[in-house]
Amino acid sequence: MRTILLALALSVCALGQAQPSGSSTSIPIAQQNALQAKAVLNQAIQALGGSAYLNVRDISQEGRSYSFYHGRPNSEGIQFWRYIKYPDKDRIELTKQRDVIEIYDGVKGYEVTYKGVHNQVEKDLRDYLRRRHYSLSEVLRTWINQPGVALFYDNQTVAEGKQVDQVTVMNAQNEGVTLFIDTSTHLPVKKTFTWRDPADRERNTEDEIYAEYRLVQNVNTPWIVTRYFNGDMAGESFLNTVVYNQNLPDSLFDPNTPSPAHKK
C-alpha cells in the first residue's frame, strides 16, 4: 500500500501545471494530503526551535542511560557523556571513569577500553548506523529536503496519552518513518520505523518516545528518550545537561584522542 501511495504522491505535479479545458482547478486529494503533512512537519520544526534547531552543528550531553532485555532492566544505569557533530560523528563515553568509549565517524565505529582501540562489533555498528539513518534529526533536517521524498498525512490519533497528528515520510529508497506530533505543542512525541533483517528476513519495528522537553539555547530538547524494539523497551536515557554549538573539533572523534575530562 505504501508503494502505491508513494507512486501517487510522486505523480502529483506542481500547482501551476496546466489543466485540461473545463476541468476543476482544485488541488488533487493526494497533493492536499502531502501539503497537510508538510504543514505538520513545518510546525514541528518551528516548535523544536526553527532556525536554532536546524542550525545545530554539534551537541554535548551528560546523563544516565539504562538498558533492557525483553522489556526488563538489566542494569542499574550508567553515566554517559556524549558528543555529536553533524552529519556523522559521535563519541559516547561511559562509566564515571569515562574509560569505555564508543566512537563513530562516518561508517566506521570503534570501541576504546583499557585494552586499546578495536573496531566496533559488526552487529553493533550496523545497529547504530541504522538508528542514525532513521533518527529524528536526520528525518527533519535531511530526508524531507531530498529529491523524491513523499509525505503522507495519516490523520489524528493518540500516542503516549496525547492527541497527535500522524505523518509518514518516505524517501526515494522507499524507506519510511512515521512521526507522531502533539497537536497542542507541535512537538514530536513518538517516531517509529520498520526494517527487514537481512539474515532471517523478519520485519522489525523500532520506536522512540520523546518526553520532558526543555528549552536549551532556543532549542526544545527532550530530556527523556525511550527506545523500543518490537514492542519491548530496549533503552532509556535521562539527560542532566545539554550544550549546543561548542565548535567541537574533528580530533575529538579520533579513537586515539583522550577523553576531554583527562585533558588539562
Does residue 103 form part of some domain? yes
Q: What is the pLDDT of residue 72?
A: 65
Dist CA 192 CA 206 (whole Å): 6
Phi-psi region of 115 (alpha: psi -120 to 50; beta: other; left: phi over 0): alpha
Q: What is the pLDDT of residue 201?
A: 85
Side chain identity, residue 246: Q
Helix (H, G, I), strand (E, B) or coil at 205: strand
Dist CA 40 CA 170 (whole Å): 15
Per-residue pLDDT in tens (0 to 9) along the chain, 264 residues: 444 344 444 433 333 333 444 444 577 898 999 999 999 999 999 999 999 999 999 999 999 999 877 666 666 789 999 999 999 999 999 999 999 999 999 999 999 999 999 999 999 999 999 999 999 999 999 999 999 999 999 999 999 999 999 999 999 999 999 999 999 999 999 999 999 988 888 999 999 999 999 999 999 999 999 999 999 999 999 999 999 999 999 999 999 998 887 654
Dist CA 175 CA 171 (whole Å): 6
Does residue 21 form part of some domain? no
Q: What is the pLDDT of residue 17?
A: 37
User: Which residues, listed in sequence order, are joined to residue 104 by a DSSP beta bridge?
Assistant: 90, 109
Does residue 2 form part of some domain? no
Name the pairing type of β-strands 150-159 and 176-182.
Answer: unpaired
Dist CA 47 CA 182 (whole Å): 10
- The answer to whether the CB of 168 falls within 8 A of the CB of 177 is yes
- The answer to whether the CB of 40 falls within 8 A of the CB of 182 is no
Does residue 245 form part of some domain? yes
Does residue 25 form part of some domain? no
Does residue 8 form part of some domain? no
Domain membership of residue 44 as a residue range:
33-255
Structural domains counted in the chain: 1
Q: What is the pLDDT of residue 203?
A: 95
Report helix angle 29-48 to 2-10, nearest 10.
Answer: 90
Kindly give the residue spans of alpha helices, DSSP state H, lying in 59-195: 122-133, 136-141
- The answer to whether the CB of 102 falls within 8 A of the CB of 92 is yes
Residues 6+ apart with CB under 8 A from 240: 62, 63, 64
Helix (H, G, I), strand (E, B) or coil at 42: helix
Does residue 113 form part of some domain? yes
Closest CA to 187 of 151, 207, 215, 168: 215
Closest CA to 39 of 186, 215, 172: 186
Q: What is the pLDDT of residue 157?
A: 97
Does residue 250 form part of some domain? yes
| CATH number where 251 lies | 2.50.20.10
Dist CA 263 CA 249 (whole Å): 14
Dist CA 192 CA 158 (whole Å): 14
- The answer to whether the CB of 155 falls within 8 A of the CB of 185 is no
Structure-block grid coordinates of residue 92: 559516547
